[in-house]
């Protein structure tokens, strides 16, 4: 009963001053929208990266000459490392019993052609036949290259969905011949569409057997990178240690020196990315929070005007027996109601803006998260409480005699 009465009084007060209420809602809405947009966009980008890394699988790790470099000096230092060669693959297969599968990889960029159509700077990846069993690339049509394709250096190619759209939009790509650089390859398979990350399409690639790659492009100048799958998730740390020992021994790394190669997992990559973007995230949220403070000041000023205009009403309520706590709750409830409505609109608008920005600029899809929604409504509630408490206390402490004589 009391809650219903408070709601009716608050709603009637807001309805009686539509312009003032609209301005208050606008102030809160702008503040919550700005914060919600930033949080939703950051969450969406982080989730997209996490989804892409999840394709690697929880028991998969990489070995590379250069994994990540946090500075230009560190990058230049890592550039001096020896490349990882094919002999390393055989050594790991023979000595590391916790390694289930290993696939060496190499990358290049080249122009590809089909009849009179061409694409420039397409990612040309090369790997062994078991690569598809290690990373989560799904076959939409046809097949991935086989062990025999590897052994006999067959010039076959597995293409991404974007290549299919550009060259074979209305026809079956399987069996067609495309040119990678100056060499002809037969299309044997099509990958399932993977979408984009940070606006970069993940479907603009071709994959060929590593033996065919070395035949056309020669031995990779920067060496190979290794994609390795441990026997199980539980064996992952020990499998990484086994590989590290083998590599250090093969590369004659002294016991008192750091590795001259990088070992990465999906979690370690995500951890580094989060640490790099942490300051940026905090800065963006901090800047957007300024609008929250401005919105709160708007709420407080307008509630002070409301208290001043309704001084006689407060006096009459007190004369009829209303206590300070009743007046305090009444005005605080009005402040919370207007900020809650503004917060609801702000949460909705913030998510829509973030989704539009990510889809249009980066091709990322996001869904509303509990965290973002909770923060949005939490901010609106805090605005109502913090910036509404002073006007509510001022109204509650009014002397009823002076309030009744107020003109």
- Give the HSE-up count for residue 41: Cα atoms under 13 Å, Cβ half-sphere: 24
pLDDT, position 151 = 92
Q: Buried b vs exposed e over 6-29: b needs ≥16 C-beta within 10 Å?
A: beebbeebbeeeeebbeebbebbb
Closest to 174 in 3D by CA, of 156, 192, 162: 156
Lowest mean pLDDT among 7-11, 37-41, 106-110: 7-11
For residue 242, name the pLDDT band (cuts at 50, 70, 90): very high
SS3 letters for 271-314?
HHHHHHHHHHHHHHHHHHHHHHHHHHHHHHHHHHHHHHHCHHHH
Whether residue 377 is predicted with pLDDT greater than 90 in this model: the reply is: no
Residues in the chain: 407
Helix H segments across 310-369? 311-319, 324-362
- 396 three-class SS: helix
C-alpha to C-alpha distance for 298 and 20, rounded to whole angstroms: 10
Digit-coded pLDDT (tens) for 174-218 = 999 999 988 999 999 999 887 766 556 678 889 999 999 999 988
For residue 258, name the pLDDT band (cuts at 50, 70, 90): confident
Relative to beta strand 60-64, strand 156-159 is unpaired
The per-residue DSSP string of 377-389 comes to HHHHHHHHHHHHH
pLDDT, position 33 = 79
pLDDT, position 300 = 82
pLDDT, position 353 = 78
How large is the average pLDDT for residues 309-320? 74
Highest mean pLDDT among 72-86, 152-166, 261-275, 361-375: 152-166
Domains in the chain: boundaries: 2-52+272-404, 82-260
Whether residue 287 is predicted with pLDDT greater than 80 in this model: the reply is: no
pLDDT, position 209 = 94
Residue, of 101 and 397, whose pLDDT is higher:
101
pLDDT, position 378 = 81
How large is the average pLDDT for residues 283-289? 70
Rg (CA), the chain: 32
pLDDT, position 105 = 92
C-alpha to C-alpha distance for 103 and 191, rounded to whole angstroms: 18
Whether residue 123 is predicted with pLDDT greater than 80 in this model: the reply is: yes
Report the DSSP beta bridge partners of residue 60. 229
Residue, of 361 and 400, whose pLDDT is higher:
400
The widest CA-to-CA distance across the chain, in whole angstroms, is: 102
pLDDT, position 334 = 78
The percent of residues above 70 in pLDDT, for the chain, comes to 80
For residue 352, name the pLDDT band (cuts at 50, 70, 90): confident
pLDDT, position 86 = 87
C-alpha to C-alpha distance for 25 and 252, rounded to whole angstroms: 68
The answer to pTM > 0.75 is no
- Give the HSE-up count for residue 376: Cα atoms under 13 Å, Cβ half-sphere: 27
How large is the average pLDDT for residues 59-68? 83
How large is the average pLDDT for residues 106-118? 90
Residue, of 209 and 276, whose pLDDT is higher:
209
For residue 80, name the pLDDT band (cuts at 50, 70, 90): confident
pLDDT, position 245 = 92
Cβ neighbourhood burial of 33 (10 Å; 0-12, 13-18, 19+) = buried
For residue 294, name the pLDDT band (cuts at 50, 70, 90): confident
Whether residue 74 is predicted with pLDDT greater than 60 in this model: the reply is: yes
Looking at every residue in the chain, the average pLDDT score rounds to: 80
- 75 three-class SS: helix
pLDDT, position 59 = 83
Residue, of 326 and 143, whose pLDDT is higher:
143
The per-residue DSSP string of 231-254 comes to SSSTTHHHHHHHHHHHHHHHTT--
How large is the average pLDDT for residues 276-286? 69
Residue, of 248 and 278, whose pLDDT is higher:
248
C-alpha to C-alpha distance for 225 and 228, rounded to whole angstroms: 10
pLDDT, position 368 = 62
For residue 314, name the pLDDT band (cuts at 50, 70, 90): confident
Whether residue 359 is predicted with pLDDT greater than 60 in this model: the reply is: no
Whether residue 364 is predicted with pLDDT greater than 60 in this model: the reply is: no
């Amino acid at each position: 009963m009391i809650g219903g009465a408070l709601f009716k009084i608050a709603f009637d007060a807001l309805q009686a001053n539509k312009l003032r209420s609209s301005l208050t809602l606008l102030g809160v809405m702008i503040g919550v929208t700005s914060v919600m947009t930033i949080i939703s966009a950051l969450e969406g980008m982080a989730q997209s990266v996490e989804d892409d890394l999840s394709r690697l699988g929880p028991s998969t790790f990489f070995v590379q000459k250069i994994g990540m470099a946090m500075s230009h000096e560190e990058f230049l230092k890592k550039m001096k490392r020896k490349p990882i060669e094919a002999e390393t693959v055989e050594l790991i297969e023979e000595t590391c019993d916790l390694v289930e599968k290993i696939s060496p990889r190499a990358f290049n960029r080249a122009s590809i052609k089909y009849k009179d159509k061409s694409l420039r700077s397409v990612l040309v990846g090369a790997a062994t036949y078991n690569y598809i069993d290690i990373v989560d690339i799904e076959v939409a049509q046809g097949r991935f290259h086989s062990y025999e394709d590897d052994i006999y250096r067959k010039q076959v190619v597995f293409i991404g969905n974007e290549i299919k759209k550009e060259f074979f939009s209305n026809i079956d790509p399987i069996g067609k011949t495309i040119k990678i650089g100056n060499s002809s390859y037969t299309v044997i398979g099509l990958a399932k569409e993977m979408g984009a990350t940070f606006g970069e399409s993940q479907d603009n690639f071709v994959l060929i057997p590593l033996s065919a790659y070395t035949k056309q492009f020669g031995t990779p100048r920067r060496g190979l990178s290794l994609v390795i799958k441990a026997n199980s998730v539980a064996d992952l740390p020990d499998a990484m240690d086994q590989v590290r020992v083998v590599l250090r021994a093969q590369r004659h790394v002294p016991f008192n020196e750091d590795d001259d190669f990088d070992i990465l997992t999906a979690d370690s990559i995500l951890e580094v990315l989060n640490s790099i973007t942490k300051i940026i995230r905090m800065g963006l949220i901090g800047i957007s929070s300024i609008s929250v403070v401005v919105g709160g000041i708007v709420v407080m000023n307008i509630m002070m005007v409301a208290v001043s205009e309704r001084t006689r009403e407060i006096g009459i309520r007190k004369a009829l027996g209303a206590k300070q706590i009743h007046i305090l709750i009444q005005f605080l409830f009005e402040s919370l109601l207007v900020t809650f409505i503004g917060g609801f609109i702000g949460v909705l608008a913030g998510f829509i803006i973030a989704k539009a920005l990510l889809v249009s600029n980066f091709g990322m899809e996001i869904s509303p998260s509990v965290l973002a929604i909770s923060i949005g409504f939490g901010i609106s509630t805090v605005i109502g409480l913090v910036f509404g408490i002073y006007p509510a206390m001022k109204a509650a402490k009014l002397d009823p005699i002076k309030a009744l004589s107020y003109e």
